[in-house]
Amino acid sequence: MDRRRLIATGIATLAAAPALAQNAAQIAPPPPGADPAPAMPPQARPFSGPAQYAPPNSGAAPTPTYSEDEVTHRVSDFLGVTAESAGSVIERAFKDNGRPTGYIAGEEGSGAFIFGLRYGKGLLYMKDRPTQTVYWQGPSVGFDAGGNGSRVFVLCYNLQYPDAIFRRFPGVDGSAYFIGGMGVNYQRADGITLAPVRAGVGLRLGANVGYLSYSRKRNLIPL
């Protein structure tokens, strides 16, 4: 009886040996210097993080603009003219260009004898943007002589951000208008239109052609 039990136990041990050897191989540590087996990737889960980054200016809100009433009152206060006089010239500028996205309030001086020079300095205002100092200078040529200093209010159209003002703006021929003792002319470059409004400028605004260069610093040479 003991002999039969011993034989049966030996047969069962031999049958289980391959399975035990396989399990031992799976849990045995890797030999020295061998790279560990890569971990199995976790099960994919749906992404729950923030939305993907949108490129600049894609669906961005348009640049805020100024209404005709806002501009009329600010021109009237800054240039020291009546609201009726300011409204007449501002109405013409709005009719030609629409609503401005900014404006420059400043002072300038000019002098000429056929060939002239103009220098100015002001503050650029845009809604939701910090105020920025702007200089401008430029030559002109025409049938005028003399000099003058005055305040100037420059309407800025299609100016999307302050730094876009820093470039050269040539005057547009035939764009000078005199209404109610005030004058306005247009300067255009790269889709941006500037409309300087001046009070009591006389003949000088319509009798010369040239350009103005707007910069961050004063340039004595206006070229």
pLDDT for position 146: 61
Q: Which candidate, 194, 197, 186, 198, places its Cα nearest to that of 214?
A: 194
Question: Is pLDDT at 49 greater than 50 in this prediction?
Answer: no
Helix (H) or strand (E) holding 55, with range, is: none
Question: Is pLDDT at 44 greater than 50 in this prediction?
Answer: no
Q: What are phi and psi of 128, to 5 degrees?
A: 65, 20
Helix (H) or strand (E) holding 193, with range, is: strand 192-199
Between residues 3 and 141, the one the model is more confident about: 141
Query: What span, in angstroms and rounded, lies between the C-alpha atoms of 211 and 165?
Result: 14
pLDDT for position 58: 44
Q: How many CA atoms lie within 13 A of 147 on its CB side?
A: 8
Query: What span, in angstroms and rounded, lies between the C-alpha atoms of 134 and 218?
Result: 9
pLDDT for position 222: 66
Query: What span, in angstroms and rounded, lies between the C-alpha atoms of 111 and 113?
Result: 7
Identity of the amino acid at 88: S
Q: Which of 16-20, 58-62, 87-91, 133-137 has the highest mean pLDDT?
A: 133-137
**69-84 confidence digits (pLDDT tens):** 999 999 999 998 889 8
Question: Is pLDDT at 113 greater than 80 in this prediction?
Answer: no
pLDDT for position 172: 73
Question: Is pLDDT at 168 greater than 90 in this prediction?
Answer: yes
Give 3: exposed, middle or buried? Use CB within 10 Å, 0-12, 13-18, 19+.
exposed
Cα dist from 178 to 107, 174, 206, 216, whole Å: 19, 12, 9, 30
Between residues 200 and 6, the one the model is more confident about: 200
Whether the CB-CB separation of 124 and 131 falls below 8 Å is answered with: yes
Query: What span, in angstroms and rounded, lies between the C-alpha atoms of 167 and 98?
Result: 22
Give 38: exposed, middle or buried? Use CB within 10 Å, 0-12, 13-18, 19+.
exposed
Predicted TM-score (pTM) of this structure: 0.68
pLDDT for position 16: 47
Whether the CB-CB separation of 135 and 215 falls below 8 Å is answered with: yes
The full DSSP string for 77-118 is HHHT--HHHHHHHHHHHHHHH-S-SEEEEEEEEEEEEEEEEE
User: Model confidence at 127, in pLDDT bands (50, 70, 90)?
Assistant: very high
Interval 123-137 mean pLDDT: 96
Q: Ramachandran region of residue 35, left (φ > 0), alpha (ψ -120 to 50) or beta?
A: beta
User: Model confidence at 185, in pLDDT bands (50, 70, 90)?
Assistant: confident
**204-220 confidence digits (pLDDT tens):** 555 556 789 999 998 87
